[in-house]
Amino acid sequence: MRTLKKQDIVIIDVRNEKDFKSNHLKGAIHLSLHDLTTEAKAMDKEASYLLYCVNGYRSMIAASILKGHQIINVNDLKGGIKALKDPKAA
């Protein structure tokens, strides 16, 4: 289990590993939605997190999971990576 420590913002890609390896935001770490509940216990509750996926659905669920673990400063990228490529997609 990895331990995430506080920094300015932690960018988390909650897509599957294959998608993460093919393309991800600079500085992002991979933490699949499947593993998030277990990993949330080791995450810094004071850190700021930005979560993203392809279209925003999984990152919205991931944000809810983290908030359920009393990790409050959590945001998800509305519309996901698709919205970054085409703002009309959001």
Q: Which residues are the active-site residues?
A: 53
Contact call for residues 88 and 63 (beta carbons, < 8 A)? no
Three-class secondary structure of residue 76 per DSSP: strand
Residue 75: half-sphere exposure toward Cβ, Cα within 13 Å: 9
Neighbouring CB atoms inside 10 A of 57's CB total: 14
